[in-house]
Amino acid sequence: MVITYCSTPEELFRVAADMIIAEAQAAMRRNGFVTLTLSGGSTPKGLYSLLAGTDALLWERVHLLWGDERVVASDSIDSNYRMANESLISHVAIPETNVHRVKTELGAEESAADYEATIRALYGTDTPTLDVVLLGVGPDGHTASLFPGQPQLESDKLVTATPPATREPRVERITMTFRLLNRASLVIFLVSGEEKVPIVGSILSHEQEANAYPASRVKPDGRLVWAVYPSPFEP
Ligand code: 6PG
């Protein structure tokens, strides 16, 4: 595990963007394409804007996935797709067929099954290894839409639906599971916010209480990187 403590949000986004670009270029050399799994919430907006301005990625060979999505319309203010579209997708020449939006209009269960099938087909296998996965952490230690104490934490699916979340927006969610997330080549936790310092500090210190936080259960076969602002260990 690599931990990068950043002094500013701009440094946080720059560090993550550089890692994404390097891994994406390696994946494109390896497989001819790269999947970039996007995180939702608000922190990643600055990173997506930075990526939108780079010419280091061959967007026609980048496939976008989402680690989770709220079961709302794709133009809803709560949609993770909408946030990514406004900050990234609408600014780059990525083919529409490379943007794998979660089809929330199918409803929770059906869109989860549809999304799992999309990922299996993209890799042509039932055991896909995602290339680059971005995740965030909530103040309760959730990641993607894997919330503390949920039965979905133990799902053996690759993508699962969840009941209305225990945090805003309190709607049903679609989320990648640990089974899929932990097969990734590179997972980057992009974390910002004072309110997360205790949680991140606990996870990175491998404290016993951290076991209750879903984010602590992301242990990918590949590399795990935490990019954090501010540092949980600075005075
Ligand atoms: C979601 C996100 C969620 C997010 C965390 C952190 O759909 O809400 O995927 O897991 O990453 O809640 O969000 P912030 O980084 O915006 O605080």
Q: What is the SS3 string spanning 47-107?
A: HHHHHHCCCCCCHHHEEEEECEEECCCCCCCCCHHHHHHHHCHHHCCCCHHHECCCCHHHC
Contact between 55 and 25 under an 8 Å Cβ cutoff? The reply is no
Q: Name the pTM for this structure.
A: 0.97
Res. 232: pLDDT tops 80:
no
Mean of pLDDT values over 50-69: 97
Which residue has a Cα nearest atom 8 of ligand 1? 41
Res. 233: pLDDT tops 90:
no
Contacts 24+ apart (CB under 8 A), 56-60: 56/21, 56/25, 57/21, 57/24, 57/25, 57/92, 58/28, 59/92, 59/93, 59/94, 59/95, 59/98, 60/93, 60/94, 60/95, 60/98
Give the per-residue pLDDT at 45: 97
Res. 206: pLDDT tops 80:
yes
Mean of pLDDT values over 152-174: 95
Mean of pLDDT values over 61-79: 98
Give the per-residue pLDDT at 224: 97
Question: Residue 188's pLDDT band (boundaries 50, 70, 90)?
Answer: very high
Q: What percent of the chain has pLDDT over 90?
A: 93
Mean of pLDDT values over 122-133: 95
Contact between 180 and 208 under an 8 Å Cβ cutoff? The reply is no
Q: How far apart are CA 155 and CA 160, in angstroms?
A: 7
Q: How far apart are CA 199 and CA 196, in angstroms?
A: 5
CA of 67 to the centre of ligand 1 (A): 10
Mean of pLDDT values over 218-233: 93
Residue 70 CA: which ligand 1 atom is closest?
7
Mean of pLDDT values over 181-188: 98
Res. 235: pLDDT tops 70:
no
152 Cβ inside 6 Å of ligand 1: no
Mean of pLDDT values over 215-230: 96
Res. 43: pLDDT tops 70:
yes
- For 146, residues 6+ apart whose C-beta sits below 8 A from its C-beta are 68, 152, 153, 162, 175, 177, 178, 214, 217
46 Cβ inside 6 Å of ligand 1: no
Of residues 198 and 102, more confidence is placed in 102
State the average pLDDT for the chain: 96
Residue 135 CA: which ligand 1 atom is closest?
11
Which residue has a Cα nearest atom 2 of ligand 1? 40
Give phi and psi for 65, each to the nearest 5. -125, 170
Res. 26: pLDDT tops 80:
yes
Question: Residue 35's pLDDT band (boundaries 50, 70, 90)?
Answer: very high
Give the per-residue pLDDT at 166: 86
